[in-house]
Amino acid sequence: MTSPNNLLQEQYRDEPWKMMILCIMLNQTHYKQVYRVKDIFFDKWPSAEDAMWANIDEMVEVLRPLGFYNRRTRTIRKFSYEWTMNGWRDIGELCGVGKYGRDSWMIFQEDTLPPDVTDKKLKEYIKWKNGVNATKQRKTESQLTE
């Protein structure tokens, strides 16, 4: 079931590397800008292996509309390299993953609701998810008492 906000993290929850790349893109950028470049980006670099060896100038041009394109390019390439390395235990260990990325990972990959989410859209998602879960619980309880 998808929330009314239909977050990119929801759309890409079955592709964790891509979901985290979107989180990096969403840092200090509006969703609409990321939505415009995501398909181009993933067509060119569909995997972590592709992104870590991407041509820097080409990636910069794709990311240019998001701002901070040189920094994002460095971050995405390094994140992708670290992603492919075995040994990381927590997504927060990887380059470019801050609070927003870690919260997104917990919510959409670990199915855990962090208690201290600060992002407005993630808070709305949690509120929606809690409402859906409460409705399911009431239905289950109702069926058990029938």
Instruction: Give 42-88 pLDDT, tens digit per residue.
Output: 999 999 999 999 999 999 999 999 999 999 999 999 999 999 998 89
Residue closest to 101 by CA, chosen among 40, 26, 46, 38: 26
- Please compute the mean of the pLDDT values over residues 35-45 and round it to a whole number: 98
Amino acid, res. 17:
W
Tell me what percent of the residues of the chain surpass a pLDDT of 90. Answer: 83
Domains of the chain: 8-145 (1.10.340.30)
Point out the residues that are catalytic. Answer: 119
